[in-house]
Structure formats: C-alpha cells, structure tokens
Structure 1
Amino acid sequence: MPVIPSVFRMASKDDIVAGMKWKAGQTFFVHTHAIQMNPKHWPEPEKFDPDRFMKNSIEKNTLIPFGGGVRMCPGRHLAETGLKVLMVLVFRNFDVSLVNPDAPLHKIYSLANHCEKLQVYIKPREFNT
C-alpha cells in the first residue's frame, strides 16, 4: 500500500504515453494506489506477503513508494536506512507477533495512507549470557 496515494506531474514536452497525446505543460495525475494495488501486477495485493519481494519478478514501475524519475523523494535513502535500523533494533530485542494474523487491516486512505489499528504482541527476548 503506497503511503502517498497519488502524485501530479507536468509534461515537459509534447509526448505520447499509453496511446494518449500530452502537450508540453499539461498536468496529469498518477494514481500510485491503483498501480501498486493492481492484481495484474501483484497477486492478492491486500495480503501481507513480504516474500513477494524476494523474487526478482517485480515489474518496472509497479512499486513506486517514493515516486520515480527526477522528482523522486529526496529523502528516500534516509527513510530506507532509518526503517532498517529501527527494524533491527526492535527485532533484535523483542519477539513481535500479530494478535490475530487473519484480522483485516484497518486502513485509512487520505493524503497520506496509514494503518489506523494493528494489534501486536511485543515480548522482550530472553538472552542467555
């Protein structure tokens, strides 16, 4: 699920994209949510399946969490690094599991998409020293 559900872009020159003519200066809307949640590109897009990213079969431009091209989010690398560090610190020190793995996600679709409610068990890990 993309964090930002859509972006706007402006054509820098006359062009034809997907069979449509675009004039220079024309603004268009890219619905990233529709792209990233499309079952044509992602089998069972609503299902939490991290293993899908282990395959080298991700089609170009079907996963665009930070946008793309020259207007891509400048904080992309900082966000990815921060997330990895947070995950390592949490999962190194705690066992985390879902209260109900079959429960649907309570998602809010707005300017910035987010999960409103996700119940988890968090238990400190016991280390043998």
Structure 2
Amino acid sequence: MKYSWNVASEVMRLSPPSQGFFREAMTDFTYNGFSIQKGCKIFWNAYATHRDHRFFPEPQKFDPSRFEGSGPAPYAYVPFGGGPRICPGKDFARLEILVFMHHLVRRFSWEKLIPDEKIVNIPMANPEKGLPIRLFPHEA
C-alpha cells in the first residue's frame, strides 16, 4: 500500500487537514525584516509551506512520486504537525485513510454530478456545491 499512501500524502499536501498551527515566540527575533517579540503568537501556515517551490518543484502539480525514497525535507510536509506536538492519532488516521481508499477503489466507480464545480476557500478549500458524487458498485 506504499503507492496508496503516497497518493494520500500528495492529497494532504495539496489540501492539508489543518491549515496551520499557532506557536509562541520564545525569544525576540527578526524574520523577513519584521521584528517578532518574545511572547508574540505566530501562525505557521501549512498550506503555504506545502506549496513552497524550494521543497516541492511544480508545487501545484499532483505528483505522488514526491513521497518515494526519503520523501520531502523534514518539516516541509506536516499534515499532522511535527516534533513533540505531532498528532497522536497520526497512525490511526493513516490506517483509516488506507482502508477507506482500498474499499472505495475496489468496490465502486464514481462520477461527479457537477463536472465543472468550482473550489472555494472558506478558509479551507471546499467544493462550492459539496462535490456530490454517485457511487456505482463494481460488477462481480
């Protein structure tokens, strides 16, 4: 299921399950010409990080092969956070995602009911009409 997980990882790179995380500055520092004082709340944006061309060439392209071998650089891809605050449900989520994908692909074909549905950001990317689909059981 390695390739299936690469596909799921690429989906989460393009549409992270969490938009980012708040952290508190532990010291005063300067970033990109901005002075950040100790104690300030900082929001790190996963969406922007996952589209950084330094870590992901052609960041808008869907390419599951990005996760082959050693994969992306540390902390360049963090759909479940990272370090000591990484999501404790990460492994369970992985198992759930893979089992769901397996059953969806093996048991069904599908078609979009609104072929050219637009994507809206509110704040996460969502299909404008909810992406209705029709499932068809595979013939045995």
Poorly superposed stretches of 4+, deviation over 6 Å: 15-23
Which of 95, 101, 126 in structure 1 is aligned with 2:109? 95
Does residue 1:106 correspond to 2:119, yes or no?
Answer: yes
Instruction: Say if 1:106 and 1:118, in contact at 8 Å, map to a contact too.
Output: no
- Report the alpha carbon displacement of residue 35 of structure 1 after superposing the two structures with TM: 0.8
Residue 58 to residue 43, structure 1, CA distance change in 2 (3 Å): same
Does residue 1:83 correspond to 2:72, yes or no?
Answer: no
SS in 1 for 2:92: helix
Unpaired runs of at least 5, structure 1: none
Partners of 1:53 and 1:74 in 2: CA distance:
21
What TM-score do the two structures reach when normalised by structure 2? Answer: 0.64
Deviates more, 1:18-27 or 1:79-88: 18-27
Unpaired runs of at least 5, structure 2: 1-14
- Report the alpha carbon displacement of residue 39 of structure 1 after superposing the two structures with TM: 1.6
Does residue 1:66 correspond to 2:80, yes or no?
Answer: yes
Partners of 1:57 and 1:91 in 2: CA distance:
25
C-alpha RMSD over aligned residues: 3.4
What is aligned with 1:115? 126
- Report the alpha carbon displacement of residue 120 of structure 1 after superposing the two structures with TM: 6.2
- CA deviation vs aligned residue, 1:22-45 (integer Å, no higher than 9, x gap): 765443221221111112211222
What TM-score do the two structures reach when normalised by structure 1? Answer: 0.68
Instruction: Say if 1:6 and 1:33, in contact at 8 Å, map to a contact too.
Output: yes
Larger helix share, 1 or 2 = 2
Identity %: 28
